[in-house]
Homo-oligomer: A and B are copies of this chain.
């Protein structure tokens, strides 16, 4: 039995519910999804400032959470990923990181399609930091509705020659199957990718290193 703690770093409960639903759809039979909402901080995370303001609420929520075996940070900016790894030796996975790593194993290059133009530099920063800049052709944003998301996906396929599409936010989970069928390329949702990675990491007994930058804080 694996207990995965999914933390929504914003304070919007309805978002947490949506993420929890998505996670439960992909979780194994033996996995319990524990979804929690940050108790303080911004109602949604749009760029660097919101990321920063959400951190103590996010970290406190993890510290006060029920028993768990691994943690998913359910914000596509991977907010607080390094800090959360210092809370204990439990593995912590970000949904952006998870999606990029999965995408790099099923395609030569992918594009990210997100909604907010403001978030693009933060995502590019993460890709660069993870050493995955060469796999990602472009981070595209569409500040709008479903129609525009689809236009961006089409451009990613035709113009970027992306072989896969990473959806750059935590709220699009239920669109994956239909988008993938419609466009003929894999479409990845970070929540699903992170849940799958956490299950795997826990099953094979890996823990966050207790030495160096992620040593548990006292």
Cross-interface CB contact of A204 among B50, B85, B97, B193, cutoff 8 Å = B193
Residue of B nearest to A110 (CB): B209
Is A117's CB within 8 Å of the partner chain B? yes
Is the pair A184, B163 in contact by a Cβ cutoff of 8 Å? no
- Of A28, A30, A213, the most chain B CB neighbours within 10 A belong to A213
Q: B-facing mask of A91-124, CB < 8 A → 1, else 0?
A: 1110001000110111111000000011111101
Q: B-facing mask of A161-187, CB < 8 A → 1, else 0?
A: 101100000000000110000001110
Is the pair A211, B184 in contact by a Cβ cutoff of 8 Å? yes
A157: chain B residues at CB < 8 Å are 211
The CA-CA distance from A28 to B47 in the complex, in Å, is 35
Is A52's CB within 8 Å of the partner chain B? yes
Is the pair B196, A26 in contact by a Cβ cutoff of 8 Å? no
- CB-CB under 8 A for A83 and B185, given A26-B203, A132-B131, A214-B108: no
